[in-house]
Structure 1
Amino acid sequence: MEWLAVGCCAVRDWPDPCEAEPPGEESPGPVPRKEFCRPVTEHAAPITVYAGSECSTLGWKYEEARAHAEATLALGEQAALEAAFWRTKLAADAEDITPAGGPVRVAQGVARLEGCLARSYAGIGTLHLPVDVAALLDRDVLREDPDTGALGTLAGNCAVIGAGYSLMNTGPGSIPAEDGTAWLYITGPLAIRRGPADTIPDKAGASVNYRTNDRKVLVERTYVVGTTCTVCAIQVRTLD
C-alpha cells in the first residue's frame, strides 16, 4: 500500500507587507521567498498472522480442528499483529530521543515523545505502550474518553496498549531493553486494513497426512498497517 504523506510539511507564517519597514538608503538584503514542501511517498508492507492446529485423526474431526484454529487466531491475532508492527516498523524506523543521561520516568517519556511528534506532524498521533508500562501512568497522563472508551493523552494523542508490544520490548535496531526498563514509541495516526480469515485446507480430506495419520488445519489473516511522517522512541524506567 502506498500513499502521499499528509501533515508532514510545515505551515509557516508570512509577514504583512503593509507593516514592512519602508526602504532606506541601505539595501534591504535578499528578498524573502516562500518555502515549498515536496510530499514524500510512504508505504506499508502486508503482515500475515496465523494459527495452526495439529491433531490425530483418531482424536479430532476436521470441524473440531478448524474451530480450534479459528478460535486461537481470534484470541491472539491482535497481539501477533502488534508484535509484527513493532518489529517491522517501530523498531526499524524510529528516531531514538532517549537523553544522554539514560532512561527517564514513564511520564517524562510520554512528554518527550509527544514533543517529538509535534515537531514533525500536524495532526493527532498514536502512542504505543506495552501493557506492563501503561499501568504506571496515572490519570494525569492517560485518560479514557467517557463516550467512546478510547484512551488518549492530554495533548489529544491516541494510546494503544498492546500485549504484543510487551512481548517485544526492543529499542531502535531491535536491541532488547535492559532489566527495569522499557521502550515506548509514538507515530502518526494508524490506518489499518484487515483482510478475511482464510482456512487452509477448506475440506476435511486435504487436512490429513495419511503417512502419519495426523490432521493439520491453518487459519491466517493479512493486515496492512500504515502510519505517517515519523516514529520516535524513548527508553523509560519501570522500577521507580
Structure 2
Amino acid sequence: MAGMRKRVEPIPGEPLPHGILGACADIQDVDDVHELLGVEWLSLGCCPVNVWRDPCLSDESPGEESPGALLKEFCRPTSEHADPITVYAGAECSTMGWSYAEARTHAEASLALGEQAAVEAGFWSDTLAMTAADLTPDAGPVDIAQGVAALEGCLAEQYGGRGVLHVPAGVAALLGCCNLVREDPASGNLRTLVGNCAITGAGYSAMNTGPGNLPADPGTAWLYITGPVVIRRGPTMTVPDRPSASVNTRTNDRRVLVERTYVVATTCFVCAIQVVTSP
C-alpha cells in the first residue's frame, strides 16, 4: 500500500515570531567578510551619569583646588566585542532519489526554519551564560514576576536605557500569568511594562543554562537581560556549489550543506536570575 501513496508538497513551517531574529534586534545584512569574523567597539552609554552637589552650598570646604576637579568623576569607555556564530543545515540523500537542486532546496528550507533557534542557542551559551551576573538570591529561585522585576531593576541601574529580556520559549506562557509582557501593536514585538523588549526563543529553551553554562535544576529556568542587541548577518553559502562535487561516489550518496554566519552583539551589562516554572 505504501507504494500507492501520492507524493505531495512538504508541509511548510515558519520560525517563532518573537525569537532573536524578530523585531527586538537590529538586524544588519552585511557582505564584508571582516565584520563576519567578529567585531569590537567602545561601549556607549555604559558610564554612569552622576549628580554633582556644589560644595559651596554645603558645609564642606572645597579648599584651594577647583571643586569640579575634586568631586566630579570621569569614566573610561571599555572595549567590547562579539564573535561569529555560524549555523548550518545539511541534506543527505541517494542520488537515485534526489537531484542536486532538490537536495539544495531541502537544505535551504531547513536553514530558513531552524537558523533562528540555532543563533539563539549560540548566543545564549557563548555570550549570555558566560558574561552574566547572577541575581538569584541565596534562598533559591524566585517566581517569574520577581525574576523579571529583579532583572529590569539590574538593567535600569547599570544601563538606564531600553534593553532586551531573554526568555526560553518553554517559559513564555508564564509571562502572561501576571501580565508581565504585552504585544506592541505598532511593532508587533513583546514589551514589558517598563518598556524592555522580550525575546522568547526556542534555542533558549534548548539550552536553559545558568552562568557558566550550568544546567538548570528540574522545575526551574534561567532568564537573562541585556542592553540592545545588534545582529550582523552574512549571506547564505551553499557547499558544494555545483552538482558533481556533492556526490560521494563510494556510497552514491549526495550531500549539500547550506550555512550562514551571524555576529550577535549586546552592550554594557548582562544579568541573570533563576526562576521557578513548576510548584
What do you get for the CA RMSD once the two structures are aligned? Answer: 1.6
| Deviation string, structure 1 residues 174-229 (Cα, Å, up to 9, x no partner) | 11111100000001110001110000111100101111111100000000000011
2:201 aligned with 1:175, yes or no?
no
Match of 2:11 in 1: none
Match of 1:208 in 2: 247
1:142 alignment partner AA = V
Match of 2:71 in 1: 33
2:57 alignment partner AA = A
Which of 100, 103, 114 pairs up with 2:138?
100
Taking the aligned partners of 2:58 and 2:71, their CA distance within structure 1 comes to: 17
Match of 2:277 in 1: 238
Superposed counterparts of 1:8-157, under 5 Å: 8-16=46-54, 20-21=57-58, 31=67, 32-138=70-176, 140-157=179-196
Tell me the number of residue pairs that the alignment of Structure 1 and Structure 2 aligns.
236
Taking the aligned partners of 2:225 and 2:238, their CA distance within structure 1 comes to: 34
Distance 1:123 1:200, change over 3 A: same
1:141 alignment partner AA = L
Taking the aligned partners of 1:196 and 1:20, their CA distance within structure 2 comes to: 61
2:229 aligned with 1:190, yes or no?
yes
Q: Secondary structure at the match of 2:158?
A: coil
Taking the aligned partners of 1:146 and 1:122, their CA distance within structure 2 comes to: 24
Gaps of 5+ in 2: 1-38
Taking the aligned partners of 1:5 and 1:151, their CA distance within structure 2 comes to: 26
- 1:119 shift after superposition: 1.4
Deviates more, 1:32-41 or 1:64-73: 32-41
Gaps of 5+ in 1: none
Q: Secondary structure at the match of 1:84?
A: helix
Q: Secondary structure at the match of 2:212?
A: coil
Taking the aligned partners of 1:213 and 1:115, their CA distance within structure 2 comes to: 59
Identity %: 67
